[in-house]
Amino acid sequence: MSEVAIVTGASQGLGRAIAAALLGAGYRVAVTDRDLGLAEDAAQALGGDADRLLPLALDVADKAAFEAARDAVLARWGRLEVAVGNAAVTLTTPVMRITPEEFDLVIRVNLRGCLFGGQVFGAHMARAGYGRLINIASLAGQNGGTASGAHYAASKAGILNMTKVFARELAPSGVTVNAIAPGPLDLPSVRAAVPPERLQTLVDTLIPVRQLGDADFVAATVVHLASRAAGFVTGAAWDINGGVFMR
């Protein structure tokens, strides 16, 4: 029987690419978004196969929503092996203009989503004796960001560190926890957030390979880390950033 994955923020962009890659690799996939209608639209765009796709509403700032999503997946398929934490608020407000309300929103959504996903999905996987948790972090969490806001960068740095905490906690139970830290990707959301002239300057002057990243490659990396063969990889951050950040 096919393994089961759940992807947060899967209605568009990188999240949808990840859901598509997992589906293509043979997983059954729960496609989630805070807006159930958007999750349903995404499931239809991915093929609409009710046997292999389950659209769910999931507000990642709400732990009870994670528990409800877990229960819905188990009620449908009876198992859950892979969870991908992708949902995030991405804002580019200059640091001196970030309001308290905006800061709290970004931190609340991005860090709560990582914490609750690790707690709820990780605990289930630990009880089952196997699982793969994969968090989508960011280059911004490593170098402070090239075009993103300070609150976004801070939240992604937190995700990188929380990934390590959960990796240590869950490793004895057969559950690995890893992060992927992409640089700027060629996605509509990136092009909408950064003015065209500034984006071209970033590509020409800050990215050594002189191109934006490929969301499908990031999605393929998720599939790689989700495999049973990836049991010796945990607590890691996989850098996919065109050479902006090297270590």
How confident is the model at residue 188, as a pLDDT?
A: 86
Contact partners, residue 126, CB within 8 Å, separation at least 6:
170, 173, 174, 175
3-state secondary structure of 239: strand
Quick one: 10 exposed, middle or buried, by C-beta within 10 A (0-12, 13-18, 19+)? buried
| 87-92-93-98 Cα dihedral, nearest 10 degrees | 40
How confident is the model at residue 240, as a pLDDT?
A: 98
* Model confidence at 85: pLDDT above 90: yes
Q: Which pLDDT band holds residue 25 (cuts at 50, 70, 90)?
A: very high
Q: Report the pLDDT averaged over residues 85-105.
A: 95
The neighbouring-strand residues paired with 179 are: 135, 237
Name the packing angle between helices 100-128 and 63-77 (round to 10°). Answer: 40
d(CA 87, CA 65): 13
> Tokens 């859901």 appear where?
19
The H-or-E segment that residue 243 falls in is none
pLDDT, tens digit, 9 for 90 and up, residues 56-65: 999 999 999 9
d(CA 32, CA 239): 25
How confident is the model at residue 179, as a pLDDT?
A: 98
Single-letter amino acid, residue 43: A
Domains for the chain: give ranges and CATH numbers: 4-237 (3.40.50.720)
Catalytic residue (choose from 152, 159, 181, 222)? 152
How confident is the model at residue 212, as a pLDDT?
A: 94
Of 228, 226, 225, nearest in space to 238 by CA? 225
How confident is the model at residue 60, as a pLDDT?
A: 98
* Catalytic residue flag (residue 27): no
d(CA 91, CA 204): 22
Of 6, 8, 56, 15, nearest in space to 189 by CA? 15
* Model confidence at 193: pLDDT above 80: no
Please indicate whether residue 4 or residue 1 has the higher confidence score (pLDDT): 4
Average pLDDT of every residue of the chain: 96
pLDDT, tens digit, 9 for 90 and up, residues 141-182: 999 987 789 999 999 999 999 999 999 999 999 999 999 999
Provide long-range contacts, Cβ within 8 A and 24+ apart, for 206-209.
Answer: 206/146, 206/244, 207/183, 207/241, 207/242, 207/243, 207/244, 208/242, 208/243, 208/244, 209/242, 209/243
Gyration radius from the chain CA atoms: 17
How confident is the model at residue 191, as a pLDDT?
A: 84
| Percent of the chain whose predicted confidence (pLDDT) is above 90 | 89
Secondary structure letter of residue 5 according to DSSP: E
Q: Which pLDDT band holds residue 126 (cuts at 50, 70, 90)?
A: very high
How confident is the model at residue 156, as a pLDDT?
A: 98
> Tokens 């198992």 appear where?
79
